[in-house]
Amino acid sequence: MKEICSKLNNLHIGIVGCGWLGIRMARKWQIKNDLYTTTTSPDKIGALTFQGLNPRLIDFNTDNSTVDILTWEVVSSLDVLIITFPISSRKDQDRNNIKRRIHNLSKFIGNFDGQLFFMDSTSVYPDEQKEFIEDDISIENVVAEYLLRAAYPEVNILRLGGLMGDDRQLHKYNVSNLDAPVNHVHFEDIIAIIEKMIENRSRSKIYNIVAPVHPTKREVICEQTGQPYKEDKREIGRLISSRRLMEELDYHFIYPDPRYFILS
């Protein structure tokens, strides 16, 4: 495993939604920074507290007519705030649900004016056989991004590919369409890109974050399981490009090829 050292020092960082990705961010950064987290699960409070991650229990799906959400008591001291919980999903594009979550989030983080990051998904792009760049789907056409940018004009929006690394390996999942290319990203690259954006004081950016190499699902699974690979056919497929962030940030992926994520 490549050991990637954090460049962040002496920052107060908030992670709203400390799930699979959020906990990996927090563990990386807590050595030299102060971390504050949220969770929707009462069962996680004890573990997050034990790890020194200063958790707060909050559910942004709450009907605000019955529960009053108060501003996070630490928000005024935060330098960086990262939103990782799903404001919308493929299964839930209901505008009213999205508006309620953003309304509740806005009450929770108030007038935060530090560096703000929103982790969205490349699922915003249609299932078409072409390469997509950020401008192909504008923020105005993604309800969650549009409403969040309206409330916080300087939010950085990161559209993440399929999250992989550690225990997340493609061969563990029930996978269909094995000849389609993958659009995956290693969590270490997401962390490193956010670090670079913090260092650059980036604001109001929108980036796809996807490993630049796009092998087929079959190639990835064969590599992970040690099986021989024989290419029968390969779809043109739906490809998500990270060229913009690579050029603007001068970023070189730690794990550019999803076939070798298993080595991490």
Measured between alpha carbons, how far is 186 from 41 in angstroms, rounded to an integer? 25
What is the spatial distance between Cα 197 and Cα 245, in angstroms, rounded to a whole number?
10
Q: Which residues contact 56 (CB under 8 A, 6 or more apart)?
A: 36, 37, 38, 39, 72
Query: Nearest CA to 109 among 75, 83, 86?
Result: 75
Q: Which region, left, alpha or beta, applies to residue 77 given φ > 0 means left and ψ of -120 to 50 means alpha?
A: alpha
The first and second tokens of residue 232, run together, are 């029968």
Taking only the tens place, the pLDDT of each residue in 203-213 is: 999 999 999 99
CATH architecture of 12-167+183-213+239-256: 3-Layer(aba) Sandwich (3.40)
pTM of the model: 0.94
Cα(152)–Cα(7) distance, rounded to whole angstroms? 26
Q: Which among 87, 230, 257, 97 is positioned nearest to 159, based on CA atoms?
A: 87
CA–CA separation, 166 and 186 (whole Å):
9
Name the residue ranges covered by the structural domains of the chain.
12-167+183-213+239-256
- What gap in Å lies between CA 156 and CA 84, rounded to an integer? 12
Q: Assess contact for 221 and 175: CB atoms under 8 A.
A: yes
What's the one-letter identity of residue 203? R
Report pLDDT for 235.
Answer: 73
For residue 88, the model assigns a pLDDT of 84
Angle (nearest 5°) at CA 149 between 129 and 131: 15
- Ordered per-residue pLDDT tens for the chain, 264 residues: 344 567 799 999 999 999 999 999 999 999 999 999 999 999 999 999 999 999 999 999 887 556 788 999 999 999 999 999 989 877 667 889 999 999 999 999 999 999 999 999 999 999 999 999 999 999 999 999 999 999 999 999 999 999 999 999 999 999 999 999 999 999 999 999 999 999 999 999 999 999 999 999 999 999 999 998 877 677 789 999 999 999 999 999 999 999 999 765
pLDDT of residue 3: 47
By CB atoms closer than 10 A (0-12, 13-18, 19+), residue 177 is exposed
Question: pLDDT tens digits for 28-59?
Answer: 999 999 999 999 999 999 999 999 999 999 99
Write out the two tokens for 221. Answer: 């699974």
What are the backbone angles phi and psi of residue 206, rounded to the nearest 5°?
Answer: -135, 125
